[in-house]
Amino acid sequence: MKRLPLGTGGLLALAAIVVFLPFVLPNNFYFDVAVKTGLNAIVCIGLNLLIGYAGQISLGHAGFFALGAYSSAILTARYGWPAPLAMLTGAVGVGLIAFVVARPILRLKGHYLAMATLGLGIIVAIVINREIALTGGPDGMTVPAFSIGGWRAVGAQTWYWIVGGALLLAVWLSLNLIDSGVGRALRALHGSEVAAATAGVDIPRYKTLVFVVSAVFASLAGSLFAHADRFLTPVEAGFLRSIEFVTMVVLGGMASTFGGVVGAAILTVLPQLLAGFHDYKHLAFGAIMIGVMIFMPKGLVPSLAMLLRRRPRAGAGP
Amino acid sequence: MSEFLQFLFSGIGNGAIYALVGLGFAIIYNASHVINFAQGEFVMIGGMATVSLIAGGIVPVWLAMPVAVAVAGGIGMALEKFAVEPAALRRGGGASVVGLIIITIGASIFIRGAVEVWLGKDFHRLPPFSGSEAIDIAGAKLDPQILWVLGGLAAVVAGLKWFFERTRFGKAMLAASHNRLAAQLVGIDIRRVLLASFGLSAALGALAGILTAPITLTKYDIGIMLGLKGFCAAILGGLGSGFGAVLGGLALGLAEAMAAGYISSAYKDAVAFVIIVVVLILMPGGLFGAKSSERV
């Protein structure tokens, strides 16, 4: 019998959750939160390939998310492009940018890499803030509905199914990538770049590949976000948004595809729950970030999986 | 000429602040290899605490500044004790670089949130230390407060030099930054070194915040950008080099002021980040960073 790919059980479980969740969601507000969760999760799945598997940090992924979002928004709103074409153009553009900057930037290590990616993200945010004629600046811009032919995607419930499908596709792609030669190469270079290079792994090539893949994931999620929310502000490109993505990955669990999904779910839903605390929201959010890092440094999913299995595994699970 | 001088003054003034924040990054990085993303919040605490202490009439005006610096130092040490140390010195290996970055960013969000709750979201201003009459130099106006900022920076650099070269504890901190294990073997208490590095950095940040509050105003969220630019200064100079951080900060401040004056003021905030990205691509170790080779 052919071996099932790694994480098939998890993928089926996630599909079941996506299918059955609508039965318990009481109204459109919750569908909207679910849509945002799914989009954040797609970014985190890509980012987790970079951070969790390849061991490279990025504090600038909100830049890629925003580039995708604003490409879709500007091309459809200002130039009347069809939405799918705008989305594709954004993704190709972001992929190219990521490809060009990947080699020089991914030579850097640790804090220097953090600084460089942070710098790139902030430059994108500042440009979006300043090019008011195109982006609407800090006031934001409205985005046309996503339409193919005569069909328009509007309403939180429609978007729930679109994003749900996209999320499952992203998880499937990620699981397959990890289970391939590329995944093994990434884990090897995470363990030791020198050892991996000695074993014949083309380090710059794989780092560039995973950087481009994670940037394109973020760009596509950004495009979907622009059309789902119909309103876009530069906050989406901000430093704090980049931090949010990284925190989701680390909270959920590095080197765990489902960890990224769980982290995204918690950090998207949590602020909604904390909204009742009004002024104390940021205080609580900061405290939770610190607490999780101290008590669960490996993140939720790997920590819980270890508890359940009682079979400690070094580093990488599905 | 007067225009150029004007940009020069404002650039040096801002650069001195970035230098002070960058020094804070360097001190903590040396002691712990942690990048403290909450560094900018201490600048904010310095200004906000001084304003509140004076407005509340809690302490006399002359005492407000030292008390604010001490408060910031205390918060810095609390951050080390309750957030960084439990993660960094955990049994069975410390937290990853990413983990520590998230902890200090969590701390910065926490501190910002706390100040937002207790002191509000308004802008505050401190009165200038020595009058607001600008000094006229060759047609350019020099805000006397900038002299205070520069004097503060010079005093801090001289003080740190004395501390790290002449005092027993300063030398212990230097030793710990070179080789933690060897320092522990000769009896240096690493926990005290870490605690002191956070306290010292926080106090420096607060001092910067107080010195600039009369020029730039202060508010609960000014720490984000200042922290990031201070980080730029520290990286530009080569992480861990105090001298580099000071030069890096001054260079960034000048570049920013010249770009804002001669090119585009809208993109002033982007200058520091463009410079840092370009420098990192061309010189991956920063301007003054030591060339390091990886040990396998």
Instruction: Give how far B256 is from chain A: nearest CA, Å.
Output: 14
- Identify the DSSP state of B133: P
Q: Does position A52 have pLDDT exceeding 60, yes or no?
A: yes
Question: Which residues in chain A are closer than 8 Å to B113, comparing Cβ atoms?
Answer: 280-286
pLDDT band at B233 (very low <50, low <70, confident <90, very high): very high
- Identify the DSSP state of A49: I
Cα separation, B164 vs A297, whole angstroms: 34
Q: Do A282 and B113 touch (CB under 8 A)?
A: yes
Q: Is the dihedral of CA A226, A33, A166, A120 positive or negative?
A: positive
**Which residues 124-153 on chain A approach chain B with CB closer than 8 angstroms?**
126-127, 130
Q: Do B273 and A127 touch (CB under 8 A)?
A: no
Question: How much is the pTM?
Answer: 0.88
Given this model, what pLDDT does residue A237 score? 92
User: How far lies B242's CA from each of B19, B27, B83, B239, B289, in Å?
Assistant: 9, 7, 25, 8, 11
pLDDT band at B132 (very low <50, low <70, confident <90, very high): confident
**Which residues 266-295 on chain A approach chain B with CB closer than 8 angstroms?**
279-290, 293-294
- Which range in A35-39, A278-282, B4-8 is most confidently predicted, on average pLDDT? A35-39
Whether residue B19 contacts residue B234, with contact meaning beta carbons closer than 8 Å, is answered with no
Instruction: Give how far A51 is from chain B: nearest CA, Å.
Output: 9
- Which range in A209-218, B9-18, B51-60 is most confidently predicted, on average pLDDT? A209-218
| Optimal mutation site among B35, B104, B105, interface A, most CBs of chain A within 10 A | B105
Whether residue A214 contacts residue A58, with contact meaning beta carbons closer than 8 Å, is answered with yes
Q: Residue A141: what are its φ and ψ, rounded to 5°?
A: -140, 150
For B238, nearest residue in chain A (alpha carbons): A112
Q: Which helix (H) or strand (E) holds A184?
A: helix A181-191
Domain boundaries, chain A: 32-237
Question: Which residues in chain B are closer than 8 Å to A122, comparing Cβ atoms?
Answer: 228, 270, 273
**Mean pLDDT of all residues in A163-190:** 90
Instruction: State the residue for tokens 């712990």.
Output: B32
pLDDT band at B286 (very low <50, low <70, confident <90, very high): low
Q: Does position B214 have pLDDT exceeding 80, yes or no?
A: yes
pLDDT band at A196 (very low <50, low <70, confident <90, very high): confident
Percent of chain B predicted with pLDDT > 90:
41
Given this model, what pLDDT does residue A58 score? 92
Given this model, what pLDDT does residue A94 score? 96
Picking from B106, B274, B284, the nearest residue to A123 by CB comes out as B274
Cα separation, A296 vs A253, whole angstroms: 9
Dig out the tokens for A173 from the structure: 């792609």
Question: Which residues in chain B are closer than 8 Å to A290, comparing Cβ atoms?
Answer: 83, 103, 106-107, 110
Q: Where are the alpha helices (DSSP H) in chain B?
A: 2-32, 39-56, 61-79, 85-88, 97-119, 144-166, 168-178, 180-185, 190-216, 223-236, 242-262, 268-282
- The rounded mean pLDDT for chain B is 87
Given this model, what pLDDT does residue B86 score? 85
**Mean pLDDT of all residues in A20-39:** 90
Dig out the tokens for A140 from the structure: 């934001």
Dig out the tokens for A283 from the structure: 């205080």
Cα separation, A234 vs A126, whole angstroms: 8
Cα of first residue to Cα of last residue in chain B, in angstroms, is 54
The ipTM assigned to this model is 0.86
Question: Which residues in chain B are closer than 8 Å to A110, comparing Cβ atoms?
Answer: 97
**Mean pLDDT of all residues in B109-115:** 91
Among candidate residues A257, A269, A253, the one with its CA nearest the CA of residue A304 = A253
pLDDT band at A89 (very low <50, low <70, confident <90, very high): very high
| Optimal mutation site among A103, A115, A192, A281, interface B, most CBs of chain B within 10 A | A115
Among candidate residues B83, B246, B115, the one with its CA nearest the CA of residue A297 = B83
Cα separation, A102 vs A120, whole angstroms: 11
Q: Do B106 and A297 touch (CB under 8 A)?
A: no
Least confident window among A86-90, B84-88, B148-152? B84-88
**Mean pLDDT of all residues in A172-193:** 87
Given this model, what pLDDT does residue A95 score? 96
pLDDT band at B58 (very low <50, low <70, confident <90, very high): confident
Picking from B98, B109, B286, the nearest residue to A289 by CB comes out as B109
**Mean pLDDT of all residues in A232-254:** 89
Question: Which residues in chain A are closer than 8 Å to B114, comparing Cβ atoms?
Answer: 283
Q: Do B106 and A59 touch (CB under 8 A)?
A: no
Q: Residue A147: what are its φ and ψ, rounded to 5°?
A: -140, 140
Instruction: Give how far B265 is from chain A: nearest CA, Å.
Output: 11
Cα separation, A175 vs B118, whole angstroms: 47
Q: Which residue has the higher pLDDT, B286 or A21?
A: A21
Domains in chain B, start-ordered, CATH in brackets? 2-282 (1.10.3470)
Angle at A127 between CA A124 and CA A131, to 5 degrees: 145
Instruction: State the residue for tokens 């994931």.
Output: A217
Given this model, what pLDDT does residue A316 score? 46
Question: Which residues in chain A are closer than 8 Å to B102, comparing Cβ atoms?
Answer: 243, 246-247, 250, 289, 293
Instruction: State the residue for tokens 């410390």.
Output: B94
Q: Which helix (H) or strand (E) holds A152?
A: strand A151-153
pLDDT band at B129 (very low <50, low <70, confident <90, very high): confident
Q: Does position A317 have pLDDT exceeding 50, yes or no?
A: no
Q: Does position A54 have pLDDT exceeding 50, yes or no?
A: yes
Question: Which residues in chain B are closer than 8 Å to A57, comparing Cβ atoms?
Answer: 97-98, 101
Question: Which residues in chain A are closer than 8 Å to B224, comparing Cβ atoms?
Answer: 239-240
Q: Which helix (H) or strand (E) holds A295?
A: helix A281-295
Given this model, what pLDDT does residue A5 score? 60
pLDDT band at B215 (very low <50, low <70, confident <90, very high): confident
Whether residue B287 contacts residue B237, with contact meaning beta carbons closer than 8 Å, is answered with yes
Instruction: State the residue for tokens 């520590």.
Output: B100
Q: Three-class SS of residue B55?
A: helix
**Mean pLDDT of all residues in B18-40:** 90
Cα separation, B179 vs B170, whole angstroms: 15
**Mean pLDDT of all residues in B33-59:** 89
Instruction: Give how far B290 is from chain A: nearest CA, Å.
Output: 13
Burial A99-128 (b: 16+ CB within 10 A, else e): eebbeebbbbbebbbbbbbbbbbbbbbbbb
- The rounded mean pLDDT for chain A is 87
Give burial (CB, 10 Å; 0-12/13-18/19+) of B187: exposed
Cα separation, A156 vs A27, whole angstroms: 9
Q: How many Cβ pairs within 8 Å bridge chains A and B? A: 136
Q: Three-class SS of residue B265?
A: coil
Whether residue B125 contacts residue B213, with contact meaning beta carbons closer than 8 Å, is answered with yes
Given this model, what pLDDT does residue A40 score? 95
Instruction: Give how far A129 is from chain B: nearest CA, Å.
Output: 9
Picking from B95, B110, B273, the nearest residue to A119 by CB comes out as B273
Q: Which residue has the higher pLDDT, A166 or B34?
A: A166
pLDDT band at B247 (very low <50, low <70, confident <90, very high): very high
pLDDT band at A311 (very low <50, low <70, confident <90, very high): low
Q: Three-class SS of residue B124?
A: strand
For A294, nearest residue in chain B (alpha carbons): B87
Q: Which amino acid is at B227?
A: G
| Optimal mutation site among A100, A111, A242, interface B, most CBs of chain B within 10 A | A111
**Which residues 291-310 on chain A approach chain B with CB closer than 8 angstroms?**
293-294, 297
A91-95: long-range pairs with CB below 8 Å, 24+: A91/A216, A91/A219, A91/A220, A91/A223, A93/A67, A93/A219, A94/A64, A94/A67, A94/A68, A94/A215, A94/A216, A94/A218, A94/A219, A95/A212, A95/A215, A95/A216, A95/A219
Pairing outcome for strands A151-153 and A146-148: antiparallel
For B92, nearest residue in chain A (alpha carbons): A297
User: How far lies B162's CA from each of B66, B102, B157, B165, B171, in Å?
Assistant: 20, 33, 9, 5, 10
Whether residue B158 contacts residue B171, with contact meaning beta carbons closer than 8 Å, is answered with no
Whether residue A263 contacts residue A42, with contact meaning beta carbons closer than 8 Å, is answered with no
**Mean pLDDT of all residues in A267-272:** 85
Cα separation, A18 vs A34, whole angstroms: 10
Dig out the tokens for A222 from the structure: 């950004």
Given this model, what pLDDT does residue B296 score? 47
pLDDT band at B95 (very low <50, low <70, confident <90, very high): low
For A126, nearest residue in chain B (alpha carbons): B270
